[in-house]
Amino acid sequence: SLGTAFKAPTFNELYYPKTGSYVGNPDVQPETALNREIALHYETGSQAVSLTWYRNRIEDMIVWAKVGPLNQPSNVDTARIEGATLAWQGRMGDFNLQASYDWLDAEDANTGKQLTRRAKHTGEFAIGQNIGSWDWRVEWLASSKRYDDKANTTELGGYALTHLYGAYRFAPDWSVFARVNNLFDKDYVLADGYATPGRNAFIGVRYSPK
């Protein structure tokens, strides 16, 4: 696939009033992009695998980042975002499995610096099982480090998370489920100064008419 894109700056990106260390930038310009993607997909029986490659060239890319003591939007003259995703899902015996790996090279084409808040490597793996009216699944997510500023001096460390899910169908269209995210209460951030949830749990009832 091949496509172009256009994105105008939002009102807040232009005129957000100075609040703490955050402020808008009326000089931000719209961004334009040329996007290319190639994907291969193979499926047989209960197994499916796919490989996707993409390369995007963005002119005047709008990014929020630290500029001196302030966090404000600005334009990256030319950004290049290239990456690949390898994904697989299938069954082994009674188990349902899913796995994926993402490689991302997102850089300022003029400086060679990594674009803010984008990790080079991320991976996911999940294993689950259906036992009669019961369903369970364990999910793992891992990410490498990323940077929070254009100069790549503020490093945000990598992290790994574990999630649990379970459900019980007590009627054909009804089930009760529970989910625990960040099981081991990992302390991590996706943007400097913004906390992410620690361990958290949800319980609910789902109605899914067939």
Mean pLDDT for the stretch of residues 166-192: 95
| pLDDT tier at 40, thresholds 50, 70, 90 | very high
192-209 tens-digit pLDDT: 888 899 999 999 999 999
Per-position DSSP letters for 101-140, written without gaps between them: EEEEEEEETTT-PBPTT--SEEEEEEEEEEETTEEEEEEE
Q: How high is the mean pLDDT of the chain?
A: 94
Task: Say if residue 70's pLDDT is above 90.
Answer: no
Task: Say if residue 160's pLDDT is above 90.
Answer: yes
Residues in Cβ contact with 193 at an 8 Å cutoff, skipping those fewer than 6 apart: none
